[in-house]
């Protein structure tokens, strides 16, 4: 049998295992291992299980995940987030879908200090999901808003995915960060418009709350100040040059502790509870990431991604059709495996092809980043969707994907806009 078919069988085996309810991370680990075992031999398969897994676990860059989650957990346990959402509710709650829109905005703000979509989804999920539930939001909209809001993590700078693209294609990190700013803000606005549109059509999805007098609205803002100070410290510190992203996670968590102590909201029990949730979210997220690496090793060895890429770029049709076809391959790739892994595999093949077709490298990098983040919310393998479901177990997976489904439409609109008006990307560089 040729390697490509073996790769395809591997993907089918992964899906079967997932749908027979093997935990997703376990399924990626095990099918990846079995695939390597059968395809590359016993020694090769065992090798991935040791040095590779250790290398992923002992990664300074991935340490950003527990630190940011911990920061979110401390703020959440202290009840300060409550103030934030109360304030947001007083201002926006009177509109249909206001609380879900707040979730998107909060995710966008958080994304500007966090370069990872999974960390953003995990942190905002911890903060926003209980609130959305409390305000009786539809489960699908709630889960969809958190999972999709998380994808802003790599679409608002800093962004690990853009750093990877910049290094792989020898472009300027600074340029890519500048270029993604407008599309990131545009996507944030489009997501909020999506929520407003859906809730106008069906007010049960995100019920309008009571209207508050202006005095009460203004008063609610005082409760937001600590959070604002913390975010300003973290965002400001990062952009002003006090610390790197991983460090901003540590300083953020530390700052959050200081604030809760200063506000007399600190108790040892809350600290322990925050750590309890932090380590479970971290183990869940990192197990998914590392599982995707193991499965990715197998898929890479079969050269399936390369075969698909070659097929697409060999088609003799107009360039925009090829572009859309390539984007479609990325959507499929992001659907069936870890989107970042697929990105890393495919850039050397697709990137030169697309530049040859006459597209701007910076523009295509941003489009790739957008499609990669889309991969985190598409079924069946959507990392952000899994994270939301992992945090809020009472929401069924199908409901989460129903919720992200609305925003897949939003994403498609954004991509269409950027194909029609590429200046939105190239304007700031």
Partner 1 sequence: MNEVTELTTGKESISLNIEKNAAGINMFEKFTIKVSKFFAWISGSAVIVMMLLIVINGIKRIFSTPILGTTEIVGWLAAISVSFALGFTQIHRGHVDIDLLVSKFPKGLQKVLRIIVAFLSLGFFGIVGWQLFQYAFSLSANRNVSQTLGVIYYPFVILSALGFFVFVLVLLKDLISEIKGGESNGSN
Partner 2 sequence: ACSSTSSGNQSSGNESSGEKSADVIELNYAFFAPAGTFPAVQMEKWAEELEKRTNNKVKVNTFPGGTLLTAENMYDGVANGLADIGLSSTTYEPGRFPLLAVSDMPSGYPNAKVASKVIADLVNEYTPEAFKDFKIITTFASEPAYIQSQQPIESLEDLKGKQLRISGATTDLFKELGAAPVGMSQSEVAEALQTGIVNGYVSSREVLKDMKYAEMVKYITDYPLTVNTFVAVMNKSKWDSLPEDVKTVIDELNTEMTDFTGDYLDNYVGEVLKWSEDEHSIKTVPLKDNENWTEIGNKLQLNAVKKAEEAGLPGQEYQNRLKELVEKYSQEQ
Q: Is the dihedral of CA 4, 9, 11, 14 positive or negative?
A: negative
How many Å separate Cα 391 from the centre of its chain? Answer: 14
Residue 402 interacting entry, from partner 1, Na ion, partner 2, none, C-beta within 5 to 8 Å by type: none
Q: What, of partner 1, Na ion, partner 2, none, does residue 300 touch, CB below 5 to 8 Å by kind?
A: partner 2
Q: Does 195 bind Na ion (CB under 5 A)?
A: no
Closer residue to Na ion in complex, CB, 71/205: 71
Whole-number Cα distances in Å, 128 to 73, 155, 157, 207, 404: 11, 20, 22, 16, 16
Q: Based on the number of CB atoms within 10 Å of its own CB, is 9 exposed (0-12), middle (13-18) or buried (19 or more)?
A: middle
The residue with tokens 């407003």 is: 196
Residue 156, contacted partner among partner 2, Na ion, partner 1, none, CB below 5-8 A by kind: Na ion
Comparison of 43 and 214: residue with beta carbon closer to partner 2 = 43
Q: Cα(157)–Cα(366) distance, rounded to whole angstroms?
A: 12
Number of chain positions touching partner 1 (CB under 8 A): 68
Query: Which segment (6-14, 65-73, 102-110, 341-349) binds partner 1 by CB under 8 A?
Result: 65-73
Long-range pairs of 327-330 with CB within 8 A, sequence gap ≥ 24: 327/367, 327/371, 327/415, 330/368, 330/371, 330/372, 330/375
3 state DSSP class of 193? helix
382 binds Na ion (CB under 5 A): yes
Q: What CA–CA distance (Å, rounded) separates 113 from 237?
A: 10
271-310: contacts with partner 1 (CB under 8 A): 272-273, 275-284, 286-288
Place of tokens 């697309």: 354
Q: Is 60 in the site for partner 1 (CB under 8 A)?
A: yes
Return the one option of partner 1, Na ion, partner 2, none that residue 393 interacts with (CB less than 5 to 8 A, by type): partner 1
Binders of partner 2 among residues 167 to 186 (CB under 8 A) are 167-168, 170-174
Interaction of residue 232 with partner 2, rule CB under 8 A: no
Evaluate whether 234 touches 113 at the Cβ level (below 8 Å). yes
**Binding pattern to partner 1, positions 183-222, x when CB under 8 A?**
----------------------------------------
Binding of partner 2 at residue 236 (CB under 8 A)? no
Interface residues for partner 1 in 82-101 (CB under 8 A)? 82
| 331-289-149-276 Cα dihedral, nearest 10 degrees | 160
Contacts with Na ion by CB under 5 A lie at 111, 115, 153, 156, 334-335, 375, 378, 381-382
Contacts with partner 2 by CB under 8 A lie at 1-3, 36, 39-44, 46-48, 51-52, 54-55, 59-61, 158, 160, 163-164, 166-168, 170-174, 238-247, 296-297, 300-301, 303, 344-345, 348
């Amino acid at each position: 049998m040729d390697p490509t078919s073996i790769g395809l069988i591997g993907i089918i085996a992964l899906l079967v295992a997932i749908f027979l309810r093997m935990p997703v991370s376990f399924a990626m680990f095990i099918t990846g291992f079995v695939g390597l075992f059968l395809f590359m031999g016993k020694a090769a398969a065992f090798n991935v299980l040791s040095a590779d897994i250790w290398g992923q676990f002992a990664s300074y860059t991935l340490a950003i995940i527990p630190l940011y989650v911990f920061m979110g957990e401390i703020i959440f346990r202290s009840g300060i987030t409550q103030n934030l959402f109360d304030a947001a509710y007083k201002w926006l709650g009177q509109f249909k879908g206001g609380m879900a829109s707040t979730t998107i905005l909060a995710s966008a703000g958080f994304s500007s200090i966090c370069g990872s979509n999974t960390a953003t989804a995990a942190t905002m999920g911890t903060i926003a999901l209980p609130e959305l539930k409390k305000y009786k939001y539809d489960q699908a909209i709630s889960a969809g808003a958190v999972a999709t809001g998380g994808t802003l993590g790599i679409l608002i700078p800093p962004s690990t995915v853009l750093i990877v693209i910049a290094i792989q294609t020898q472009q300027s990190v600074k340029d890519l960060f500048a270029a993604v700013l407008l599309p990131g803000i545009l996507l944030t606005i489009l997501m909020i418009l999506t929520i407003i549109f859906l809730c106008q059509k069906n007010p049960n999805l995100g019920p309008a709350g009571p209207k508050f007098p202006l005095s009460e609205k203004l008063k609610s803002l005082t409760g937001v100040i600590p959070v604002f100070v913390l975010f300003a410290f973290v965002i400001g510190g990062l952009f002003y040059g006090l610390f790197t992203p991983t460090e901003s996670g540590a300083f953020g968590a530390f700052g959050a502790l200081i604030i809760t102590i200063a506000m007399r909201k600190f108790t040892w029990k809350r600290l322990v509870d925050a750590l309890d949730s932090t380590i479970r979210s971290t183990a869940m997220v990192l197990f998914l990431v590392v599982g995707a690496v193991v499965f990715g090793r197998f898929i890479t060895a079969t050269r399936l991604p390369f075969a698909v890429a070659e097929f697409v770029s060999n088609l003799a049709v107009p360039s925009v059709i090829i572009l859309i076809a390539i984007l479609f391959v990325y959507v499929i790739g992001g659907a069936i495996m870890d989107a970042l892994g697929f990105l890393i595999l495919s850039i050397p093949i697709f990137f030169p092809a697309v530049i040859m077709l006459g597209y701007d490298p910076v523009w295509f990098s941003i489009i790739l980043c957008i499609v990669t983040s889309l991969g985190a919310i598409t079924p069946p393998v959507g990392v952000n969707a899994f994270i939301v479901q992992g945090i809020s177990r009472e929401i069924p997976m199908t409901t989460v994907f129903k919720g992200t489904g609305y925003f897949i439409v939003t994403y498609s609109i954004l991509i269409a806009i950027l194909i029609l008006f590429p200046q939105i990307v190239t304007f700031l560089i």
